[in-house]
Amino acid sequence: MGRVADAALAAGGVAIGVRPAGLFRREIAHTGLTEQYEVKDMHARKAKMNELSDAFIALPGGFGTFEEVFEVVSWGQIGIHSKPLGLLNVAGFYTPLVEMVKHAVDTGFIPAAHAELVICESDIDHLLTRLSEYKPPAGVNKWVELDEEKK
């Protein structure tokens, strides 16, 4: 995250940090960020990032990244936000995840429209273009669909 922040700042951009209180030692916090928020916990961190974000991009990562990706998708699915989520598929990192989503669609666990909540590209310029052109797929709020089915 530090290298991404450094690159954004070097290019004249903005880099905002949202850090849970007490989770990380102060000395590893990035000191050159445009803004930095300290929040109560990880739940508050994700809520603050959602509040501040126009879109989400996930770089390759571990369990924490996966958890955040699926929470962003879930929030989009139930209508908490309508922001795009992009996966930067460096060296095919996210290909198995995309295949898993396709499998879940094929087996009826995820509606096909909901798969459109995840944008995956290996080229950052293509990813940014797709994110800027994003329109939320119609009918993705699964709770609204359930209410409609009852009528």
- CATH code for position 148: 3.40.50.450
pLDDT band of residue 1 (cuts 50, 70, 90) is: confident
Q: Are 60 and 43 members of one domain?
A: no
pLDDT band of residue 93 (cuts 50, 70, 90) is: very high
Mean pLDDT, all residues of the chain: 89
- Record the pTM: 0.85
Beta strands in the chain (DSSP E): 16-20, 35-39, 56-58, 85-88, 118-121
Q: Are 69 and 121 members of one domain?
A: yes
In the predicted model, what is the mean pLDDT of residues 51-70? 96
Q: Are 46 and 58 members of one domain?
A: no
> Domain span at residue 28?
1-50
**Cα–Cα distance for residue pair 20/125, rounded to 1 Å:** 31
Per-residue pLDDT tens digits for 5-56: 999 999 999 999 998 887 766 557 788 899 999 999 989 999 999 999 999 9
